Amino acid sequence: MKWRLYFICLLIIQTSFAQDSLLIKLNKKRAIVLGATNVVATVSSMAVLYNAWYKGYPFAPFHFFNDNNEWLQMDKVGHAWSAYNISRITSESFKWVGYNNKKSYWLGAASGLAYMSIIEVFDGFSKEWGFSLGDYTANIAGSAGYLFQQLHWKEQRIQIKFSSHINDYANYGLNNRADSVFGKNFFSRILKDYNAQTYWLSFNIASFFKQTKFPSWLNMAIGYGANGMFAASSNTVKDNNGNIIFNRNDIPRFRQFYLAPDIDFTKIKTHSKFLKGVFFALNAFKFPTPALELSQGCLQWKWMVF
């Protein structure tokens, strides 16, 4: 959840740098601008993270925390998504200042992992959380997934995307619980409510089958989501004294798998540098489409999946 706040800050600030990657010589002025922007993005994002997540919780000596069984691993997939897309954005930023392709790929992947590592270190010094090896492994997977594709294919044939929506739980008690865990406002719910999120591996068909007649912008995406979660590990919650304050183990916690069409916005042809930058940014997200859903042993058709 914390990492999405940081990614959105970085995405907004750095999207404009992803519009022109034709330079072959280092541009010192652009390098200064990029360096300053990264400093501002890092400092401002960490300030947002501190106020949103760490403020009010005591610090502690650095420690590890095993959260691999929480939230049906939705948070781990989210870490991979963030590391992947930060790597993708920063790589284009390094191209913008004049680094060659190979250096940009490596620097971008290293930056994605470094950004996410800062957050893990913060967690390691927080009494509420801790440094999670599971999270860090997911960070490595996201950055490595970007780097492998660029080195092997010189393009992103498989993109990691994110989608979310506002979930109405249709029950006063459950909505109250959701408000307390995921927040009440739109922005907080989009970021925090794992029940309403889906992560996607989006495959560009034409990139794998060069002779195909499929449109170059048409993708097929495999999605992963989960539902029925009102706490990290189970739907029974106790206070510090061991008293049960929430108990809905009657609600099943289950995984959801999807198959849906998607769009690779970067394959849409345009001469506008502005639109290229917009399309580059949009490729981090999966937009609603019909989909097949497999969950709880049942395969069903959904007219719209967010």
pLDDT bracket for residue 1 (50, 70, 90)? low
Provide the strand spans (E) within 78-231.
158-164, 197-204, 218-227
3-state helix, strand, coil in the chain (%, to 5): 50, 20, 30
Domain boundaries, the chain: 1-154, 155-306
Question: Residue 157 phi/psi, 5° resolution?
Answer: -80, -25
Regarding pTM above 0.95, the answer is no
- Measured CA to CA, the distance from residue 251 to residue 247 in angstroms comes to 9
What pLDDT shows up at residue 25? 67
- Measured CA to CA, the distance from residue 62 to residue 64 in angstroms comes to 7
Q: Please, which residues have CB within 8 angstroms of residue 139's CB and are 6 or more apart in sequence?
A: 79, 80, 82, 83, 112, 113, 116, 117, 120
Residue 133, token pair as written in the block: 């090896």
Residue 278: alpha-carbon gap to chain centroid = 18
Q: Which residues pair with 161 in a beta bridge?
A: 200
Question: Residue 233 phi/psi, 5° resolution?
Answer: -110, -30
Is residue 64 helix, strand or coil? strand
Is residue 258 helix, strand or coil? strand
pLDDT bracket for residue 13 (50, 70, 90)? very low
What pLDDT shows up at residue 122? 86
**CA dihedral of residues 15, 268, 224, 136 (deg, nearest 10):** -30
pLDDT digits (tens, 9 = 90+) for 244-302: 999 999 999 999 999 999 999 999 999 999 999 999 999 999 999 999 999 999 999 99
Query: What angle do helix axes 74-97 and 28-49 make, rounded to 10 degrees?
Result: 160
Of residues 214 and 110, the one with the higher pLDDT is 110
pLDDT at 12 over 80: no
pLDDT digits (tens, 9 = 90+) for 191-249: 889 999 999 999 999 999 988 888 999 999 999 999 999 999 999 999 888 899 999 99
**CA dihedral of residues 40, 46, 52, 54 (deg, nearest 10):** -160
pLDDT digits (tens, 9 = 90+) for 137-186: 999 999 999 999 999 999 999 999 999 999 989 888 899 999 999 888 88
The arithmetic mean of pLDDT across residues 38-49, rounded, is 77
